[in-house]
Structure 1
Amino acid sequence: MLTGDRVRLRAIEPSDAEFLWRWHNDPEVMRWMDDPYPPSLARIAKDIGERDAGTYDNLVLMIETLAERTIGVVALRGAQPETGAAELDIYLGERDTWGQGYATDAMRVICRYGFEKMRLHRISLTAVAENAAARHVYQKVGFVEEGRLREAFRRDGKWHDMILMGLLEGELR
């Protein structure tokens, strides 16, 4: 278990299927995420049961408050020792926790783990340009804009740009 000032990150358990199902079926939670087909509870439970424990190339952890309330998911995907790079994904599924610093703390914890324990040199992510709240969190922990994919994400019949952001070892704030 990885612990920060406001959150702890832990392995996914079978009992987390209901959280994931509820969050993936909440249009507001999924607003800026690439998740076009909401999965069934049975499918999520099956996937959890079949997945390996967190691996170097696919570390997926649940985010809990220090009071042990499960509130979201964070992941480092595609990590390769040869490149020293990984991609970060994060979301908070419990809307009443938005804007309270949980995502910022979770990002600091997972990035610190990536740099110190996984020996990564670079962590990257993409964000929809209109998702100002997420971009603010990313910038707060040190991510910088590195590029733009024009009209790369479609939502509600409209195309949106994706912002590429990166964080190098030593830049975490």
Structure 2
Amino acid sequence: MLPAADATRKPAPARVRLRPTMQSDLPFVLSIERDPANLPFITPWERTQHEAAIRFPDFRHFIVEGGDDLAAVGFLILIGCKSPNQSLELKRMVVQSKGEGYGRAALRVAKKVAFDDLGAHRFWLDVKHHNLRAKALYDSEGFVVEGTLRECVRGAEGFDSLIVMSLLQAEFGARRAQGLELPA
């Protein structure tokens, strides 16, 4: 008989890496973006929008690979990579398998890319007000609520509000000093 799991022990972080999205990845991207489990929380793009994001220098479109075999488990998009204001947006992050730690691990890698590789001063995002799981993740990863864009996006059942959140470079540095972020 195996011993019971220690409820206070946190699971090991999921293993993920980000790799640039290729045209051949777009069927996967579109399939998880249009998955009924994800649709209430995002505004899906057309294929041509994803194609443009792959090519446009101000964007970074990544496939999230995870697990021991580093299979595709999701994707994320960064916008503002060439911004003179050093304000970078996490435009979209969609993970296929929920609750396995891939979203948190991918977000940590995205923060490292934003601040260390792309020189961001501010890393921001918006999240639909009813996406409580994502909101809790962003809260726990140091993002601060800046405000709410009330009823600004048309959804299936009316208009949705967006909560705007951000993390500043100094806040990221403080979290890193506490061991809460990936090392430089």
TM-score normalised by the shorter chain: which range applies? 0.7 to 0.9
The alpha-carbon deviation at position 93 of structure 1 amounts to 4.3
Q: Residue 20 of structure 1 corresponds to which residue in structure 2?
A: 29
Structure 2 residues not aligned, in runs of 5+: 1-12, 173-179
- Following superposition of structure 1 onto structure 2, how do residues 16-95 of structure 1 map, counting pairs within 5 Å? 16-35=25-44, 39=46, 43=47, 48=51, 51-52=54-55, 55=57, 57-66=58-67, 67-94=69-96
Report the equivalent of 1:148: 148
Q: How many residue pairs end up in the alignment? A: 160
SS in 2 for 1:83: coil
Using the aligned pairs only, state the percent identity: 28
Secondary structure in structure 2 of the residue aligned to 1:86: strand
Contact 1:85–1:123 at 8 Å: present in 2 too?
yes
* TM-score, structure 1 as length reference: 0.81
Q: Aligned partners of 1:158, 1:142: CA distance in 2, in Å?
A: 30
CA distance in 2, matches of 1:127, 1:50: 20
Amino acid at match of 2:78: L
Distance in structure 1 (CA, Å) of the matches to 2:158 and 2:83:
38
Q: Deviations over 1:98-120 (max 9, x none)?
A: 12211111111111111111111
Deviation at 1:169, TM superposition (A): 0.7
Deviations 1:36-86 (A, max 9, x none): x7x4xxx56x9649942x73x211111010422101111210234421111
**1:27 partner amino acid:** P
Offset from partner CA, 1:16-55 (integer Å, 9 cap, x none): 12212312332221211122x7x4xxx56x9649942x73
TM-score w.r.t. the length of structure 2 is: 0.76
User: Is 2:121 the partner of 1:121?
Assistant: yes
Specify whether residues 93 and 81 from structure 1 end up closer, same or farther in structure 2 by C-alpha distance, changes over 3 A only: closer
* Corresponding residue number in structure 2 for 1:168: 168
* Map of 2:109 onto structure 1: 109
RMSD: 2.5
- The answer for unaligned runs of 5 or more in structure 1 is none
